[in-house]
Chain A
Amino acid sequence: MRSIETCREDFPALHQTVAGGRPLVYLDSAATAQKPRSVIEAEARFYERDNANVHRGVHTLAVRATEAYERARRAVARFIGATDPACVVFVRGTTEAINLVARSYAQPRLGPDDEIVLTPMEHHSNMVPWQMVAQATGARLRYVDLLPDGTLDLASYERLLESGRVRVVAVTHQSNVLGTINPVREMAERAHRVGAVVVVDAAQSVPHQPVDVRQLGCDFLAFSGHKMMGPTGIGVLWGRRELLESMPPLFGGGEMIREVGLFESTYNEVPYKFEAGTPPIAQAVGLGAAVEYLESLGMEQVRAHEQRLVAYALERLGQMPDVRIYGPRQHRGGVVSFNVEGVHPHDVATILDQEGVAVRAGHHCAQPLMRWLDVPATVRASFYVYNTPEDVDALVRALEAVRAIFGAGAKPR
């Protein structure tokens, strides 16, 4: 097993200086993770040795490419506890996965009497597709209330389910802003009692904690490759087989068909009927390598490492009098959103960048949540296996530079 303590060596991009010679401190993994050498090499090796199209050729490279692509699918299935690799659909990313469920599963089934339950902490990619379904079908969107600490008010969730009209519950497993980890398992149990399907945005959870679809009990799970050290352009929709089989394909074209006539066609089986056109083959191979890398670290160890880092970050930032932290203090993932009193998040991020510290500033594709927090934007530091307590110290030092420039308690009129 690979050690988290030394894994930093495996990430070439981390070993550079920025902003005039300062060592890079990368605290933006919730946006995208850095890649270990094994992932970069797996993708390069595929292009150097095995490159061919999949599921079409009989020649040696086509066979190798197909085997590599399907091996990646099996690796992903194993990683999320899915017993049937055919239930793993390769897509471009979380956004496409959720849109696929919204368009292909929900839209044909929903009508004006139906309701879709969301939470205000959803990323735009788990909100806008449902708004589009609601507009197309007349279904209503209902929102679970948030408690002041940024966790879900489960009593309000229960009340929403009592309407008897809820057909879909779409919820994030872990908030990309607050770090809140939602009780998806309990929510799925309750949703199933009223006959609703549960769609989980796992973009921020699958990379950072053990996720097992059998334990979660959800019906669909969506996540991206690039946030779990894999390449961009590849993501996953996992779905229950009977649901995937009941869904019409979203895109027509090659690969997704069985037999094509001039006027109609029959479709391939799952997952291929959702993978029209040449898929991101090298990217899938890279994702497979990312899965193997994470397995070699152990997801329990990944989670524990981030728990220690986030606890330390909350402690250090909590000692800074003019730093306001958002989100729960307990049972949370490795993202910390905050603001420095009187200083706009973009000013904070620019100064941090000049100190070598890379954070995200903005609305994090969660504008409704920004309104709930009553801020225009936040600064967000997010952690992964390669971060260290020294990175947190560097963040705190850089925040002291913010204070030095803007002065104590700076507050514009």
Chain B
Amino acid sequence: MLEELYREVILDHYKSPRNKGPLAGADASVHLHNPLCGDEITLALAVEGETIREARFTGQGCSISQASASMMTEALRGKTLAEAREMLQRFTRMVRGELAPEEADLGELEALAGVSRFPVRVKCALLAWEALDKDLAHLEEGGPAGSPAGEPGGRP
């Protein structure tokens, strides 16, 4: 079962995360913190019209949360906001075991499907995606560019 969780590609993204670091000129940025385990993420998106030009993240956490964030930022580039939201729904259903990975059609992200066998770790895989949900909501509202990062009690 552990092999299903700790796939090579997950460990690779954990050890060498892609798109990690601040994003200058972000159009939306949100900071989330899971107080239960101390995992945290700031996810920043830059858009051109309706298309995500770049997604970058900062933060720290377990291999699942970090690999999920790293793969997600890779997958988001070039997607429209509507496509990103649709991806978010498929990914969420996949890690909850409601959608088979081959049906989820999420490319590299399908490696995270094994998380569904570890119910307590599902929230780790979803942290970055919850941040995406909030970023997308800001952009869809056409609200102020860049929400203030941080939340009460959140670790810096």
B64 within 8 A of A: yes
Contact (Cβ within 8 A) B17 A405 = no
Contact of B66 among A376, A411, A412 (CB under 8 A): A412
Looking across the interface, which residue of chain A has its beta carbon closest to that of B153?
Answer: A367
Contact (Cβ within 8 A) A350 B37 = no
CA distance A401 to B1 in the complex (A): 13
A67 to chain B, nearest CB (A): 43
Looking across the interface, which residue of chain A has its beta carbon closest to that of B62?
Answer: A344
CA distance A376 to B120 in the complex (A): 18
B20 within 8 A of A: yes
Binary interface profile of B, 10-50, with partner A (CB < 8 Å = 1, else 0)?
01001111001000000000000001111100000000000
Residues of B within 8 A of A354 (CB): 1-2
Contact of B60 among A350, A376, A410 (CB under 8 A): A376
Contact (Cβ within 8 A) B37 A362 = yes
B87 within 8 A of A: no
CA distance A60 to B149 in the complex (A): 65
Contact (Cβ within 8 A) A376 B37 = yes
Contact (Cβ within 8 A) A347 B62 = yes
Looking across the interface, which residue of chain A has its beta carbon closest to that of B67?
Answer: A412
A322 to chain B, nearest CB (A): 14
CA distance A370 to B39 in the complex (A): 13
Contact of A411 among B15, B37, B118, B120 (CB under 8 A): B15
A413 within 8 A of B: yes
CA distance A404 to B23 in the complex (A): 35
CA distance A406 to B14 in the complex (A): 10
Within 8 A of B (CB), among A176-227: none
- Which of A344, A362, A367, A407 gathers the greatest number of chain B CB atoms within 10 Å? A344
Known A370-B38, A405-B11; judge A344-B20 contact (CB<8 A): no
Contact (Cβ within 8 A) B121 A350 = yes
Contact (Cβ within 8 A) B15 A412 = yes
B14 to chain A, nearest CB (A): 6
Known A370-B38, A377-B38; judge A405-B6 contact (CB<8 A): yes
Residues of A within 8 A of B5 (CB): 350
A125 to chain B, nearest CB (A): 16
Residues of A within 8 A of B155 (CB): 376
B36 to chain A, nearest CB (A): 7
Binary interface profile of B, 49-61, with partner A (CB < 8 Å = 1, else 0)?
0000000000011
Contact (Cβ within 8 A) B2 A413 = no
Contact (Cβ within 8 A) A362 B2 = no
Within 8 A of A (CB), among B120-156: 120-121, 124, 155
Binary interface profile of A, 344-388, with partner B (CB < 8 Å = 1, else 0)?
111100110010000001110001001000001100000000000
B80 within 8 A of A: no
Contact (Cβ within 8 A) B1 A20 = yes
B115 to chain A, nearest CB (A): 10
Contact (Cβ within 8 A) B61 A344 = yes
Binary interface profile of A, 149-193, with partner B (CB < 8 Å = 1, else 0)?
000000000000000000000000000000000000000000000
CA distance A78 to B155 in the complex (A): 45
Contact of B16 among A351, A367, A405, A413 (CB under 8 A): A413
Contact of A413 among B15, B35, B64 (CB under 8 A): B15
Contact (Cβ within 8 A) B1 A412 = no
Residues of A within 8 A of B64 (CB): 346-347
A56 to chain B, nearest CB (A): 42
B4 to chain A, nearest CB (A): 11
Residues of A within 8 A of B17 (CB): 412-413
A92 to chain B, nearest CB (A): 22
Query: What are the 5 closest A-B residue pairs judged by CB atoms, nearest first?
Result: A376-B38, A344-B62, A346-B62, A377-B38, A354-B2
Name A residues whose Cβ lies closer than 8 Å to a Cβ of B.
19-20, 343-347, 350-351, 354, 361-363, 367, 370, 376-377, 401, 405-407, 410-413
Q: Can you name 24 A-B residue pairings with CB atoms under 8 Å? A: A19-B1, A20-B1, A344-B62, A345-B37, A347-B63, A347-B64, A350-B5, A350-B120, A361-B37, A362-B36, A362-B38, A363-B38, A370-B38, A376-B39, A376-B61, A376-B155, A377-B37, A401-B2, A405-B2, A406-B63, A411-B15, A412-B63, A413-B17, A413-B20
- Beyond the given A350-B5, A361-B37, A376-B61, could you list 7 further A-B residue pairs with CB under 8 A, ordered by the A residue number? A344-B61, A346-B62, A347-B6, A362-B37, A376-B39, A376-B155, A411-B15
